[in-house]
Amino acid sequence: MKTKKKIAWAVTGAGEKIEKTYETMVDIQEKYGDKVEIRVFVSNAGKQVLKFYRLFKKLKENFEYVSFEVNSNSPFLAGDVQLHKYEFLLVAPCTSNTVAKLASRIGDTMITNAVIMGQKSQVPVYIMPVDFKEGVTVTKIPNGNDLILELTKEDIDCVRKISNMNNTFVFEDTDEIYNIF
C-alpha cells in the first residue's frame, strides 16, 4: 500500500479569503485525498475567526486531523516540520500580524515557529498573505457588510521581506494553491 504524503496546512486569524480558502481545502482534499493527507493546524486567532465565519464545525467535520494551538510548541508542529514529516507547510490565509512576525523572525506562535523551523530545515513553505498589494481594499465580513481597509507600505514591505526568504514562496490567491499540490 502506497503511503500518502503529509501536508501541514496552517490557518491564521485572517477573515479575508477564509471562506474561499476553506472551499479550496475541501476541493483539494476531494481531488488529491488518495495521494495526500492534509493535516490542519489552526492558530488561536484562527479558531476565533473560523467560528465567526461559521466554518469551525465544518472544518472539524471535513478533515480527519485538525489541531488547535495551545502555545508556540503545542501541538509540536515546528518539530515535525523541522524533521521533514511534511512535504511542505502551507499558511493560508495568513494575517499581516503573522507576516510581520515572520519578517522580524519572531516565532512566538505555533505557526510562526513552524514557518521559521521549516525555512531553516529546507522544507518548502508556502504563504498566502491577505495583505498583498498596497492601497485600499474592500472585504466582506460575515454579515455581508463591506469593510474598507488601507494596506500600508509597511504591511507590504513585510510581505516583500518574507518573499525573499529561503525556502519560502509567497502567493496572492487561493487559485494558486492548486499549483502547489
Q: φ and ψ at 137, to 5 degrees? A: -135, 155
Q: Is the peptide bond before 93 cis (omega within 30 degrees of 0)?
A: yes
- pLDDT single digits (tens) 7-43: 999 999 999 899 999 999 999 999 998 999 999 999 9
- pLDDT single digits (tens) 105-146: 999 999 999 999 999 999 999 999 999 888 788 887 888 888
Q: φ and ψ at 69, to 5 degrees? A: -60, 135
d(CA 46, CA 111): 11
Distances (CA, A) of 54 to 10, 50, 57, 173: 18, 6, 7, 22
Q: 49: closest CA among 26, 9, 17, 7?
A: 17
- pLDDT single digits (tens) 91-101: 999 999 999 99
Q: 5-179 adopts what CATH topology?
A: Rossmann fold (3.40.50)
d(CA 16, CA 52): 12
Quick check: helix, strand or coil at residue 108? coil
Query: Does position 1 have pLDDT exceeding 80, yes or no?
Result: no
